[in-house]
Structure 1
Amino acid sequence: MTALVTLVCASWLHIGEADAQTSASAAQHASLASVDVQSLLKTARSGDAIAQLKMGDLHMQGRGVLHNYSLAAAWYSKAAKGGNAKAQRKLGLMHLRAEGVALSYPDAIMWLGRAAHGGELAAFQDLYHHYTSVEPDPAAVQKWQEVEAGLKQSLEQDNENFAELLDKAKAGDAVAQRRVALRYEKGRGISRDFAAARDWYLAAADQGDVRAQDNLADLYLAGTGVERDSARAARWYQKAADQGFARSQYSLGVLYLKGLGVEQDAERAADLYRQAATSGYARAQTALARLYRRGEGVEEDQGQAFNLLKTAALQGFGPAQRSLGVMYQFGYGTEIDDVAAVSWYQKAAEQGDAKAQENLGFMYQAGRGVDKDYGLAMEWYRNAASQGSARAQNKIGVMYQFGKGVGADVEEARRWYRLAADQGYKQAQLNLEALGEVQ
Structure 2
Amino acid sequence: MTNTDPEILPINEQGTTETFAHLADKAEAGDAISQRRLSFLYQGTKGFPEDSAKAFKWMLAAAENGDISAQISVASQYFHGWHIDRSPLEAKRWYLEAAKSGDVHAQYMLAARCAGSDFGNEDIDTAIFWLRKAAYQNRSDLQYFLAGFEGSVLGGEPNFEQSYYWLEVARLNGHVSDGTWIALARAELNASEAEAVRNRASKFVDGCKKFEQHLYGFTPKDWWNDSDANHSAKYVILLSQYEWDVSNGNGNPELHYKLGSLYYLSTDRRNLKQVNYWLGRAAEAGHQKASDALKALQGSEMQFD
TM-score, normalised to structure 1's length? Answer: 0.36
TM-score, normalised to structure 2's length? Answer: 0.50
The structure that has the greater radius of gyration is: 1
